[in-house]
């Protein structure tokens, strides 16, 4: 419970009464549908972020002061909450409270609604079918976790498989793998990723000889159902595979659809990797990583990328570059690179034809209907 009552003594076991700061993070469970009011009371300054977006600003030097904000929750969901706090001098106070749809006033949030993290590691020894599918447990490369790591012992089509059980319905889960990168940085030992027997694309395992031995892959998004057994499989696509230490899955957010307000059509992608606007068919679903600012396809795990050479938007493997970082703001999809936004593009003379058209990046203009999008599911 974040409820530190007014005190002139040390703050929160920090050993300091003045010139002290705190950063508190956790996952907050919104179990009911409806309107919530979240408040933060502090002396001195504080700020509350929801999924890394500022929600309540109570910053600055001041005596005890309370600030609140309302949010609408259309369905039960879990959100990442971050609280920043500092105390310059005098008494310290910090309380985070909420009023849920079933409460008549705000109260400090019960700890049972806070989860410190929402990720699970499945170690090498949790791997199913050990020894019968062309892989085995090894421990020659030091620095692994658990009892060892998985190594491929037979050629192409050998596989690794884990079983996992997820706690929440219809959420995006980001999957990463830790592996030994003790081979050339020019080498990429790709593995095929499948979920419940359905291929989801390939995962890249790049080498890093001369650097850190153990690395993590980029996150790959999948949508999983509640309290069901799911099977994640990595299959070799060449004559060898990387040595894999563990699988980690972490809860993300609900899938989203990105619709053009002009005609209610959705952003999707073509086979050749271009981002376009299509008539809605239920398959154009995305994940938004609010920490990395990535818009990620739930079809193949690739990121929406600004190709600055042509100013069009394409789908590429997520690489952490600024060309793949976007901010949703006032109906605009704004690049973090500057004052440039995603917009519909159509051939000259075809202004009335909006179906299956490309997307480009152009100077932001809030009045331009070709730049106005709706983010369904956020």
| pLDDT tens column, 229-266 | 788 999 988 777 899 999 988 776 667 889 888 888 88
CA pair distance 332, 125, nearest whole angstrom: 46
**Residue 195, SS3?**
strand
**pTM assigned to the model:** 0.58
Q: What is the mean pLDDT of residues 132-152?
A: 87
Extract the tokens encoding 97: 């409270």
Task: Output b/e per residue, 222-260; b: 16+ Cβ within 10 A.
Answer: bbbeeeeebebbbbbeeebbbbbbbbbbebbbbbbbbbb
Kindly list the domain boundaries of the chain, sorted by start residue.
3-115, 119-251, 257-376
Q: Lowest mean pLDDT of 27-36, 45-54, 342-351, name the range.
A: 342-351
pLDDT in tens, 29-51: 887 888 999 999 999 999 999 87
**Residue 216, SS3?**
strand
Per-residue pLDDT at 378:
46
CATH class of 257-376: mainly beta
* Higher per-residue confidence, 268 vs 376: 268
Given a contact cutoff of 8 angstroms between Cβ atoms, the answer to whether 55 and 80 are in contact is no
Query: What's the start-to-end Cα distance of the chain, in Å?
Result: 27
Task: Check pLDDT > 50 for residue 198.
Answer: yes
Question: Would you report the helix, strand and coil content of the chain in percent, each value rounded to 5?
Answer: 5, 50, 45
Residue 270, number of CB atoms within 10 A of its CB: 13
Q: Does domain 119-251 fall into CATH 2.60.120.260? A: yes
Phi-psi sector, 197: left (phi>0), alpha (psi -120 to 50), beta: left
Per-residue pLDDT at 131:
46
Mean of per-residue pLDDT scores for the chain: 84
Does 119-251 match 3-115 at the fold level?
Answer: yes
What fold, for 3-115?
Answer: Jelly Rolls (2.60.120)
């Amino acid at each position: 419970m974040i409820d530190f009552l007014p005190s002139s003594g040390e703050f929160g076991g920090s050993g300091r009464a003045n010139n002290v700061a705190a950063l508190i993070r956790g996952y907050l469970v919104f179990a009911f549908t409806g309107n919530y009011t979240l408040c933060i009371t502090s002396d001195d300054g504080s700020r509350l972020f929801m999924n890394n977006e500022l929600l309540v600003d109570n910053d600055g030097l001041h005596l005890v002061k309370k600030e609140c904000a309302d949010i609408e929750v259309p369905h039960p969901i879990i959100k990442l909450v971050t609280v920043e706090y500092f105390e310059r001098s005098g008494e310290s106070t910090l309380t985070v409270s909420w009023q849920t749809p079933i409460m008549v006033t705000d109260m400090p949030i019960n700890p049972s609604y806070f989860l410190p993290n929402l990720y699970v590691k499945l170690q090498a020894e949790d791997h199913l079918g050990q020894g019968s599918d062309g892989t085995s447990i090894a421990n020659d490369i030091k620095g692994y976790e658990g009892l060892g790591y998985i190594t491929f012992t037979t050629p192409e089509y050998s596989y690794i498989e884990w079983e996992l059980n997820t706690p929440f319905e219809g959420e995006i889960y980001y999957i990463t793998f830790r592996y030994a990168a003790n081979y050339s940085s020019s080498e990429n030992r790709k593995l095929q990723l499948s979920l419940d027997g359905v291929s989801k694309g390939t995962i890249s395992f790049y080498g890093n000889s001369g650097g850190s031995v153990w690395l993590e892959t980029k996150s790959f998004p999948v949508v999983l159902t509640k309290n069901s057994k799911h099977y994640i499989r990595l299959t070799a696509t060449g004559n060898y595979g990387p040595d894999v230490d563990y699988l980690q899955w972490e809860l993300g957010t609900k899938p989203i659809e990105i619709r053009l307000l002009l005609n209610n059509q959705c952003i999707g992608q073509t086979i050749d990797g271009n981002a376009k606007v299509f008539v809605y068919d239920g398959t154009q679903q995305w994940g938004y990583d609010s920490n990395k600012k990535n818009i990620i396809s739930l079809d193949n795990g690739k990121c929406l990328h600004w190709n600055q050479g042509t100013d069009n938007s394409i789908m590429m493997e997520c690489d952490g570059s600024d060309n793949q970082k976007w901010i949703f703001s006032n109906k605009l999809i704004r690049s973090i690179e500057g004052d440039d936004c995603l917009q519909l593009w159509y051939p000259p003379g075809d202004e009335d034809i909006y179906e299956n058209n490309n997307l480009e990046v152009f100077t932001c203009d809030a009045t331009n209907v070709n730049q106005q999008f709706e983010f369904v599911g956020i």
